[in-house]
């Protein structure tokens, strides 16, 4: 079998590298010494450059202004963005836009998706419940505004979503909410009445917010599809966040290992580069193995979620369930990026803590991605549950 990327996917990588060519983590305030976010906004100039390169709608259908590629191509762009610590919501906007494409009405798709592809509309996702550990679809309660049907009066929201990345500068945020009819996906204006944004700062120093809903009214036109009694709509969106986060972890880890290889190849001890020492070379080799495991589990999960989306949500019963592939990718990405960052800090010695050297910023981003959707142990439990349920 041929596991190489298609010409279109390789072209997406080249376009992404060109767009990120002059982006560097140097010169950005350190999250280690500053209680405030490193910036009050995303990198707007870079965002427009990505739009002009047709990268914001890379996985959206051509009829909505996109490039018509698949989640693998989207993940390839995310991978490149993580190498340079790009301060743009590619993960959040991309996942939300794909949810709109899958669950939204035709009117919603034609209204919103071309604006996303053109860089004029910033979307986000509320990924955590009140405590950051409860499921996101349990953090907010939706009650029908006019009668039990929820239509046409819309919904009244109460509850909390925490750790919503860049919520203050986003135009709309996909909020999962529980209702008597099942899980809803709602496109919410973060500045609407009844929604309070309480500033938070993430582990990597970026702007975020806790969204507090107190009787916030959401019109029926903001609802994406029908409520799902089995929360399948939220689980699909969560799956997109998982593969996207895994892609970010991979790009980040590869850049960290490249920095480590360069440093250990130049750092002299006892008249020799420390890269020639067996203990050093073994650590680097182990981390390389981690990265390759991260890579294969990522592409497996990204390929599978694309297949399921193309099959209108139907999973192949002859395969291991998609949920197991997604959880496996998350486990490897979380554990792998943590190990790569820790080994890099160890091999850099004091240089790794120097605020004039970018490694400490990569370490902060690694910690953020490791825990973004929950600790690896929680996803190990998911894998075990799926395997037990299917007697695999």
Q: Which domains does the chain have, with CATH numbers?
A: 7-121 (1.10.540.10), 126-222 (2.40.110.10), 232-389 (1.20.140.10)
Structure confidence at residue 132 (pLDDT): 56
Cβ contact 40:28 at 8 Å: no
Structure confidence at residue 151 (pLDDT): 47
SS3 5: coil
- Report which of residues 148 and 232 the model is more confident about: 232
Give the Cα separation of 98 and 101 in Å (integer): 5
Q: Is residue 209's pLDDT more than 50? A: yes
**Structure tokens of 246?**
């895994």
Structure confidence at residue 153 (pLDDT): 76
From start to end of the chain, where are the E strands? 123-125, 140-144, 155-165, 172-179, 182-188, 195-201, 207-218, 268-269, 272-273
Structure confidence at residue 354 (pLDDT): 84
**Structure tokens of 286?**
């182990």
Burial (CB count <10 Å: 0-12, 13-18, 19+), residue 136: buried
Q: Is residue 162's pLDDT more than 60? A: yes
Percent of the chain with pLDDT over 90: 72
Burial 75-93 (b: 16+ CB within 10 A, else e): bbbbbbbbbbbbbbbbbbb
Q: What is the DSSP string of 283-338?
A: HHHHHHHHHHHHHHHHHHHHHHHHHHHHTTT---TTS--HHHHHHHHHHHHHHHHH
Cβ contact 307:316 at 8 Å: yes
Q: What is the mean pLDDT of the chain?
A: 91
Q: State pLDDT tens for residues 112-160.
A: 999 999 999 999 999 987 765 667 788 999 999 875 544 457 999 999 9
Of 188-192, 243-247, 273-277, the poorest mean pLDDT is in 273-277
Structure confidence at residue 353 (pLDDT): 82
Q: State pLDDT tens for residues 305-345.
A: 998 888 777 777 768 889 999 999 999 999 999 999 999 99
Structure confidence at residue 266 (pLDDT): 87
Give the Cα separation of 226 and 179 in Å (integer): 11
Q: Is residue 390's pLDDT more than 90? A: no
Structure confidence at residue 255 (pLDDT): 96
| pTM of this structure | 0.94
Percent of the chain with pLDDT over 70: 95
φ/ψ of 228, rounded to 5, equals -110, 110
Cβ contact 367:338 at 8 Å: yes
Structure confidence at residue 129 (pLDDT): 78
Q: How confident is the model at residue 369 (pLDDT cuts 50, 70, 90)?
A: very high
Give the Cα separation of 31 and 129 in Å (integer): 25
Cβ contacts of 130 within 8 Å, gap of 6 or more: 139, 159, 160, 161, 162
Q: How confident is the model at residue 185 (pLDDT cuts 50, 70, 90)?
A: very high
Average pLDDT over residues 8-18: 96
Average pLDDT over residues 90-102: 97
φ/ψ of 25, rounded to 5, equals -75, -10
Structure confidence at residue 211 (pLDDT): 96
Structure confidence at residue 318 (pLDDT): 67
Structure confidence at residue 2 (pLDDT): 62
């Amino acid at each position: 079998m041929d596991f190489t990327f298609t010409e279109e996917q390789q072209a997406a990588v080249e376009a992404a590298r060109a767009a990120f060519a002059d982006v560097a983590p140097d010169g950005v305030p350190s999250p280690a010494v500053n209680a405030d976010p490193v910036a009050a906004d995303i990198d707007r100039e870079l965002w427009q450059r990505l739009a002009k390169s047709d990268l914001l709608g890379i996985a959206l259908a051509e009829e909505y202004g996109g490039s018509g590629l698949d989640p693998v191509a989207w993940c390839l762009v995310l991978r490149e963005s993580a190498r340079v610590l790009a301060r743009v919501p590619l993960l959040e906007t991309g996942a939300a836009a794909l949810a709109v494409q899958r669950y939204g009405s035709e009117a919603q798709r034609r209204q919103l998706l071309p604006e996303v592809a053109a860089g004029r509309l910033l979307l986000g996702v509320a990924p955590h419940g009140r405590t950051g550990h409860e499921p996101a679809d349990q953090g907010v309660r939706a009650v029908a505004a006019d009668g039990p049907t929820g239509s046409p009066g819309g919904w009244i929201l109460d509850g909390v979503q925490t750790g919503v990345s860049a919520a203050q500068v986003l135009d709309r945020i996909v909020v999962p909410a529980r209702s008597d009819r099942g899980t809803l996906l709602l496109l919410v204006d973060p500045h609407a009445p009844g929604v309070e944004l309480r500033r938070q700062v993430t582990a990597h120093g970026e702007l975020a917010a806790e969204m507090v809903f107190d009787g916030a009214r959401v019109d029926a036109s903001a609802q994406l599809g029908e409520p799902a009694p089995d929360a399948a709509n939220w689980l699909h969106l969560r799956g997109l966040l998982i593969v996207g986060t895994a892609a970010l972890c991979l790009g980040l880890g590869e850049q960290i290992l490249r920095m480590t290889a360069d440093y250990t190849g130049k750092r002299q001890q006892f008249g020799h580069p420390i890269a020639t020492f067996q203990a050093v070379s073994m650590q680097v080799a182990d981390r390389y193995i981690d990265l390759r495991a991260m890579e294969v589990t990522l592409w497996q999960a990204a390929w599978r979620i694309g297949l399921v989306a193309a099959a209108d949500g139907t999973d192949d019963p002859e395969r291991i369930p998609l949920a197991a592939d997604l959880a496996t990718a998350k486990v490897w990405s979380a554990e792998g990026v943590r190990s790569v960052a820790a080994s890099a800090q160890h091999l850099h010695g004091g240089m790794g803590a120097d605020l004039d050297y970018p490694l400490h910023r990569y370490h902060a981003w690694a910690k953020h991605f490791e825990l973004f959707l929950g600790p690896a142990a929680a996803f190990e439990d998911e894998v075990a549950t799926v395997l037990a349920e299917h007697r695999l």
